[in-house]
């Protein structure tokens, strides 16, 4: 049997049950997933923490510049001879939506999942990159009157 040494763990679990998340080890309502986002050179990078999620249980959708990430943590397989001792990991669907600006190239998003982290790399759109504008006109300076 596992022994707990944290005296506040039961209080934390009770708080989670009362204020959301449901009973430990049961399916819960959709929850947000922690993320980091930053710009690195010519791309925008977003990293989501999804520990213990099977890559097959991750869905990525984009519609009208809204990126939706859904992931489902399923219960461990159990049998008649299994008696759960501690079930603290939340189960169910985790989701997050990001509103992507027009400056990002949503047609070329690259997704990679490794070590419980989903990393999305979104290139900066060509139309958003700085460009030089040539000025044409007379070579002699002109006086502008106000």
pLDDT (mean) for 40-45: 93
Number of structural domains found in the chain: 1
Instruction: Please give the Cα distance from 145 to 73 (Å, whole number).
Output: 70
In a domain, 66, yes or no: yes
pTM exceeds 0.75: no
In a domain, 3, yes or no: no
Instruction: Please give the Cα distance from 92 to 89 (Å, whole number).
Output: 10
Number of residues written out for the chain: 146
Read off the CATH number of the domain in which 33 is found: 2.60.40.790
In a domain, 40, yes or no: yes
Please say if the pLDDT value at position 20 is more than 60.
no
* Cβ contact 96:67 at 8 Å: no
Identify the pLDDT of residue 24: 47
In a domain, 48, yes or no: yes
* Percent of the chain residues past pLDDT 70, beyond the cut: 70
In a domain, 134, yes or no: no
pLDDT tens by residue, 99-138: 988 889 999 999 999 999 999 999 988 776 667 777 777 6
Residue 96 DSSP symbol: E
In a domain, 32, yes or no: yes
Task: Write down the residue that tokens 């070590």 correspond to.
Answer: 115
In a domain, 82, yes or no: no
Whole-Å CA distances, 58 to 9, 14, 44, 64, 68: 29, 29, 20, 20, 11
Q: Going by C-beta distance under 8 Å and a sequence separation of 6 or more, which residues neighbour residue 2? A: 85, 86
In a domain, 2, yes or no: no
Residue 70 lies in domain: 21-76+88-127
Instruction: Please give the Cα distance from 69 to 96 (Å, whole number).
Output: 5
């Amino acid at each position: 049997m596992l022994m707990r040494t944290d005296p506040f763990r039961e209080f934390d679990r009770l708080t989670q049950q009362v204020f959301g998340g449901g009973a430990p080890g049961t399916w819960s309502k959709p929850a947000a997933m922690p993320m980091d986002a930053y710009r690195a050179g010519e791309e925008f990078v977003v990293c989501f923490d999804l520990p213990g999620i099977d890559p097959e249980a991750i869905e990525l959708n984009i519609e009208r510049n809204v990126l939706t990430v859904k992931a489902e943590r399923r219960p461990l397989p159990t049998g008649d001879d299994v008696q759960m001792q501690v079930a603290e990991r939340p189960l169910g669907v985790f989701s997050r939506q990001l509103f992507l600006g027009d400056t990002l190239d949503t047609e070329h998003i690259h997704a990679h999942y490794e070590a419980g982290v989903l990393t999305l790399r979104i290139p900066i759109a060509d139309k958003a990159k700085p460009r030089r504008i040539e000025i044409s006109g007379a070579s002699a300076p002109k006086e502008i009157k106000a």
